[in-house]
Amino acid sequence: MERSRDEVRLSEGKRVLSPPYLATPIYACGTIVNVLGFAPDARLDVELDGTIVAANFQAGAPYPVGAVVPLAAPLTVGQRLRARQKAFGITSGWSSPVLVRDHRLDFPAGLPRPEVDPPPVYECGSRTGVSNLLVGCNVWITADGVEVGRVNGAVAHQGVNVNPFYGLGQTVRAWADLCGDASPPSKAWQAERYPPPPPAPVITAPVAGSTAVVLDGIVNGARFDLTRGGVGVGTFRAWGGRFIVSGISPPFAAGESLSATQQLCPGDPTSPPATTVVQPCSALRAPGVGPIQRGDTVVTLTDFVPDARIRVYANGTKIGDGGGPVVLLSRALVAGDVVDVLQSVGSCTSNWVQELTVRCVDPPVGGSPVGLDLFPVGWLDYDAGTTSVLGLTLRVRGSVAYPAEDDGNGQPFNHRLAGLGRVPFAVLIHGNHDDNVPNFRGYDYFQEQLARMGIVAISIDENESSARSGASNIVERAQLGWASVRHFQALDGGGDPIFGGRIDFGRTGLMGHSRGGEAVVTMTKPAAPAPAGVTVVGVLALAPTDWGATNHEPVGYPFVTILPAGDGDVVSNNGALFYDKAHLDPYRCQLYVDNANHNFFNRQWLNDDARGVYPLISRTDHERILSAYGGAFFRNVLLGHDTVGYLEETVRPAGVLTAKVHISFQRTGSLIMDNHEDGNGIGLNSLGQSTSQTAGLTADECSFSQAGAPTFNNTFYGLTTGMVATTPRAGGTFRSRLAAPVDLTRREVRVRVGEVSDGGSPPAGSTGFKLGLETTTGAVFWVDSDGVGGVPRPFDRTAGTRLPRTKTMPSTLRFTASCFAAPRKVRIRAIRLRLDRGDNRALAFDDLEIVRV
Amino acid sequence: MADRSDTQPPEPSRRDPDLWFLPEIARVEAVRRRYDEPRYRVRDGELEEVYEAVEVTVETSEPFPQRALGPVLFVGPVELSESEQIGPARYRFYGYDVERLKDDAPIRLGWFGQPRPKGQTDLRFSLVDTRDDGRGRR
């Protein structure tokens, strides 16, 4: 929250100046180093293999690009780079060294595919942004095959001036190379006509003392004129969206007027003018700060003035001093630290600080799991004739997206990727819907994302199955799914010009939605056996049904299910049954998504299945959730990438409403203290050790299901046994012993917990508990559930007309060992759960375990 | 300076189809049938061939909405969840546990996985006859 600087006591402490950091990874043959995180106008030293190769480099503004420091010679593998800054009479320490890598180890099939960013491009466009670049590469733009602009030694998102400007209808593409290794071309864009005049830009009023001004609403490739007090500052070429003019001298003074107009084609009318007035220093607010958790050594800013100096204080003492968006700290943060972040521009220091208390667990935001854009994408519709399924004659058809030489229908398979070996295979199956709609096309966005990573992704047309219902219909859909896979096996083995010898069916992933979600689990069961040569290595069930086609036990593969809390069709969220019974082979994951419905993950399914009774996140946000978590899952199971952190919630995907996503996750190899499946009663845990209930707490094992017994109430929709605890007064405690003392070094305690719903609207305010580690000496160290993200609120379903019950849906909380402020290497003998809110609300617990991290 | 801002209330919400709509039963006929070519059912996760079933053909006032869940026919307490659409508003439900279907049991429509609808019904189960289908009709 924002607090007045007068209310906090901030000390400069020792002469702290944060080291800057280098944009990584850094690859051989690059001729620049991109340095970030420094204070405005700092001077930089860059050291290469122990020798300073750039001294006192004038850094300029820290944002948006940072400093691009040219090197005298191209980098070679194994060289070691680091940087430091000098500002305010202080020289910082050196940044962590970065070793120069060989890009071919990371990208054996060639450089990632550049992206024209943002698109589209327009007639008379004068500058184009290109992203998805390796730092240090060379990037160029062609228009109708002719080079019109180039930057050698690019940053990750590079602007390229083009000359001549684009002509109407020209085909524009971006290209990159490094060490003579070329990327595929970007997607092709036709230069369109932008009807003049363009709209007025939007100028964010700078504050007095600033030397930068932010303009938004720039038309892609336009040139804009900026004036200050009526006098021209300059003409700037810009890619579309936001542009930051930096290095304005002298700094702005309050009351100055600024104005800007933009234009595309010379001779066309210019935009109306945008105007603003420089604000006084008192208008400078606190910066926005991203999540911070125990152990963090950086602070990431989400909103800040581009040329601001950013200072970070912990408990009143400065531990960081640099520039946005990331400031390195002089020490790691500890849970409970009060962090204040302050920005200043020139002589103007904000009167406000952003204050946060460091949580034990508040995962950082990482990149998008589907940001891996390596290859153009080819598309085909396939039709393999008919097959017999359960005595029915059904068509085998659908669409396939695959990594290609270029975008488009029937393009050749990407030859460089093919040269590295066979690629994995993803099978997508839609659910039951109006069969006049091409339902199988509804996941084309996800197919494209998978294909550009190097996965062949098919989506099967199962509309012919819509006439039937029942468990046999699920088996029918499953067997029809395998028929499509057999078709691709035939193409692969039969020398097909695109797919011949290309696909590794030993790495097959399945995703199904709705009835398709149950079908993909069925595809791993005897009722729908996989063809020879196919190994299922992961299954994602999106809002699956439960027609009874399976025994609910995904086994032999990692399993993920996504459950929309606002599902107006599969109102019982049957996927919870599959999660609860999924084997840890080696992990399972459940996402319960607030304000999501059944249909909006499929672009062809236009109706809101809940008919508007629940407020919904946008359709785009539904898709982003499937993309991010499905992408992380398939990258892990099909490509072997280390992306499980997104499912385990040690990192959050960018661009996703993660506050709406409540994750349950469990993996093999943990020490399970209690999963309540032992049938040994509440008095013993899964280790066979005693438990106890004190200070008024009452707990018992209950079926977390609709059909089992005993149940606590009828708001549980899973298929497991857990524990429900209540206490009439604060402090009631449940204690669970370990069989032998455990050292929690590099371990976490995890527990699945949910606020028990009574089926109605949840009461106001959240609830919670404390988890305590009891050491072998009897000392207990506590951490509050709020410090690790809090117990999620039940999603209120009472507005619905069908199954209006608000459900009890537990999710996993992670308590890292170092949160507990216990002595190092302490050994624990028991774990305690203390319900200390005094609100008499029941909590459901399950899967108490100790996990090695 | 003239104010050039636009404003109006949001668009009214679309009236999306009611997925829970249950049509009325206009006509029902139950026939016991044997098959040369088997039908299939799932029991305890296993696929079984079946060569005999009671087919309950229902004509409804309107089609069922297309959705993830499907229609079921209750014959007394017995739920027939295997079905297929054989006409614009014509459905055939399959009962494989023939002995559980009692004459004169009340007939109701419902949705799979949801509680049996309450209320009176005039429709009663009555098995017409047994037919052999030499062609193994599907």
B26–chain A nearest CA distance, Å? 20
Selected for mutation to probe chain A from B1, B11, B15, B16 (highest A CB count within 10 Å) is B16
Of the candidates A433, A466, A612, which has its C-beta nearest B13's C-beta? A612
**For residue range A738-765, what is the model confidence (pLDDT) as tens digits?**
999 999 999 999 999 999 999 999 999 9
**For residue range A815-848, what is the model confidence (pLDDT) as tens digits?**
999 889 888 888 999 999 999 999 999 999 999 9
> Quick one: average pLDDT of A239-256?
96
Of the candidates B20, B85, B94, which has its C-beta nearest A802's C-beta? B20
Interatomic CA distance for residues A103 and A137, integer angstroms: 10
Helix (H, G, I), strand (E, B) or coil at A508: strand
Nearest C-alpha in A relative to B66: A433
> Quick one: average pLDDT of A36-65?
96
Q: Kindly state the DSSP code that residue A521 receives in the 8-state scheme.
A: H
Nearest C-alpha in B relative to A607: B16
A390 neighbourhood in chain B, CB within 8 Å:
39-40
Per this entry, what is the length of chain A? Answer: 853
Sheet holding A213-218, edge to edge: A202-204, A213-218, A241-245
A802 at interface of B, judged by CB pairs closer than 8 A = yes
Interatomic CA distance for residues A321 and A142, integer angstroms: 42
Partner-chain contact A547 B112, CB within 8 Å: yes
The values of phi and psi at residue A211, to 5°, are -120, 20
A691: left (phi over 0), alpha (psi -120 to 50) or beta: beta
Helix (H, G, I), strand (E, B) or coil at A628: helix
B14 at interface of A, judged by CB pairs closer than 8 A = yes
Partner-chain contact B84 A468, CB within 8 Å: yes
Which structure tokens are listed for A551? 């025994």
Partner-chain contact A469 B71, CB within 8 Å: yes
**For residue range A546-580, what is the model confidence (pLDDT) as tens digits?**
999 999 999 999 999 999 999 999 999 999 999 99
B74–chain A nearest CA distance, Å? 14
Which structure tokens are listed for A25? 């990874």
Q: Kindly state the DSSP code that residue A626 receives in the 8-state scheme.
A: I
Contact A492, A464 (CB under 8 A): no
Neighbours of A520 (CB within 10 A): 29
Of the candidates B14, B113, B138, which has its C-beta nearest A391's C-beta? B138
A612 neighbourhood in chain B, CB within 8 Å:
13-14, 16
Nearest C-alpha in A relative to B90: A467
Partner-chain contact B41 A471, CB within 8 Å: yes
Helix (H) / strand (E) containing A624: helix A619-625
B83 neighbourhood in chain A, CB within 8 Å:
468-470
> Quick one: average pLDDT of A401-427?
98
The model's confidence at residue A185, banded by pLDDT at 50, 70 and 90, is very high
CA atoms within 13 A on the CB side of A604: 18
> Quick one: average pLDDT of A427-441?
97
CA-based torsion, A611, A616, A617, A618: positive or negative: positive
Interatomic CA distance for residues A333 and A297, integer angstroms: 6
Contact A505, A475 (CB under 8 A): no
- Select the more confidently predicted residue: B133 or A277: A277
- How much is the pLDDT for A286? 98
The model's confidence at residue B115, banded by pLDDT at 50, 70 and 90, is confident
Q: Is the peptide bond between A710 and the residue preceding it cis, with omega within 30 degrees of 0?
A: yes
Mean pLDDT score of chain A? 97
> Quick one: average pLDDT of A394-399?
98
B104 at interface of A, judged by CB pairs closer than 8 A = no
A714 at interface of B, judged by CB pairs closer than 8 A = no
Inter-chain contacts counted by CB atoms under 8 A, chains A and B: 106
Interatomic CA distance for residues A577 and A373, integer angstroms: 35
For A393, A429, A431, A515, B63, the CA distances from A463, given in Å and listed in that order, are 13, 10, 9, 12, 17
Q: Check whether A606 has a pLDDT greater than 90.
A: yes
Of the candidates B13, B19, B112, which has its C-beta nearest A609's C-beta? B19
B127–chain A nearest CA distance, Å? 22
Q: What is the CA radius of gyration of chain B?
A: 21
Of the candidates B44, B45, B70, which has its C-beta nearest A470's C-beta? B70
Q: Kindly state the DSSP code that residue A266 receives in the 8-state scheme.
A: T
> Quick one: average pLDDT of B35-39?
95
A437 at interface of B, judged by CB pairs closer than 8 A = no
A45–chain B nearest CA distance, Å? 51
Q: At residue A732, what is the residue type?
A: G
The angle subtended at Cα A664 by Cα A662 and Cα A665, nearest 5°, is: 135
Interatomic CA distance for residues A389 and A393, integer angstroms: 6
Q: Kindly state the DSSP code that residue A728 receives in the 8-state scheme.
A: S
Residues 6+ apart with CB under 8 A from B90: B57, B58, B59, B60
Which structure tokens are listed for A100? 């120069």
> Which pTM was predicted?
0.95
Our measurement of the distance from residue A658's CA atom to the centroid of its chain's CA atoms, rounded to an integer in Å, reads 8
Contact A122, A103 (CB under 8 A): no
- How much is the pLDDT for B1? 46
For A66, A125, A128, A178, the CA distances from A239, given in Å and listed in that order, are 18, 8, 5, 24
Partner-chain contact B16 A609, CB within 8 Å: yes
- How much is the pLDDT for B2? 55
Contact A579, A664 (CB under 8 A): yes
Contact A395, A461 (CB under 8 A): yes
Contact A610, A751 (CB under 8 A): no
A572–chain B nearest CA distance, Å? 8
A471 at interface of B, judged by CB pairs closer than 8 A = yes
Q: Check whether B138 has a pLDDT greater than 50.
A: no
A683–chain B nearest CA distance, Å? 33
Partner-chain contact B16 A612, CB within 8 Å: yes
**For residue range A444-499, what is the model confidence (pLDDT) as tens digits?**
999 999 999 999 999 999 999 999 999 999 999 999 999 999 999 999 999 999 99
Interatomic CA distance for residues A363 and A589, integer angstroms: 17
Partner-chain contact A432 B66, CB within 8 Å: yes
Interatomic CA distance for residues B82 and A546, integer angstroms: 13
Task: Give the 3-state DSSP-derived string for A329-377, with helices as H, strands as E and coil as C.
Answer: CCCCCCCCCEEEEEEEECCEECCEEEEEECECCCCCEECCCCCCCCCCE
Partner-chain contact A598 B68, CB within 8 Å: yes
Partner-chain contact B40 A475, CB within 8 Å: yes
Contact B65, B21 (CB under 8 A): yes
Partner-chain contact A607 B138, CB within 8 Å: no
Of the candidates A546, A569, A608, which has its C-beta nearest B67's C-beta? A569
A463 at interface of B, judged by CB pairs closer than 8 A = no
Contact A117, A127 (CB under 8 A): no
- How much is the pLDDT for A823? 87
Nearest C-alpha in A relative to B114: A803
Nearest C-alpha in B relative to A803: B114
Q: Kindly state the DSSP code that residue A578 receives in the 8-state scheme.
A: H
Helix (H) / strand (E) containing A486: helix A471-493
Which structure tokens are listed for A779? 């000392």
Interatomic CA distance for residues A338 and A8, integer angstroms: 11
**For residue range A328-369, what is the model confidence (pLDDT) as tens digits?**
999 999 999 999 999 999 999 999 999 999 999 999 999 999
The DSSP-derived string for A190-250 is EPBP-PSSPPPPEEEPPBTT---EEEEEEPTT-EEEEEETTEEEEEEE--SEEEEE---SS
Sheet holding A587-593, edge to edge: A408-409, A377-389, A392-403, A456-460, A423-429, A503-513, A536-542, A559-564, A587-593, A661-667
- How much is the pLDDT for A517? 98
For A542, A707, B24, B55, B96, the CA distances from A618, given in Å and listed in that order, are 17, 34, 35, 44, 44
Q: Is the peptide bond between A369 and the residue preceding it cis, with omega within 30 degrees of 0?
A: no
CA-based torsion, A645, A650, A653, A659: positive or negative: positive
The angle subtended at Cα A23 by Cα A18 and Cα A25, nearest 5°, is: 130
By C-alpha distance, which of A702, A716, A704, A723 is closest to A833?
Answer: A723
Of the candidates A435, A527, A545, which has its C-beta nearest B68's C-beta? A545
Helix (H, G, I), strand (E, B) or coil at A711: coil
Which structure tokens are listed for A584? 């840890």
Partner-chain contact A433 B38, CB within 8 Å: no
Q: What is the ipTM of this complex?
A: 0.93
Q: Check whether B13 has a pLDDT greater than 90.
A: no
Which structure tokens are listed for A196? 């003049």
Interatomic CA distance for residues A399 and A426, integer angstroms: 12
The angle subtended at Cα A795 by Cα A789 and Cα A798, nearest 5°, is: 160
**For residue range A109-152, what is the model confidence (pLDDT) as tens digits?**
999 999 999 999 999 999 999 999 999 999 999 999 999 999 99
- How much is the pLDDT for A769? 98
Partner-chain contact B70 A469, CB within 8 Å: yes
Contact A450, A631 (CB under 8 A): yes
Share of chain A above pLDDT 70, in %: 100
Burial of A678 (0-12, 13-18, 19+ CB in 10 A): middle
Helix (H) / strand (E) containing A736: strand A732-743
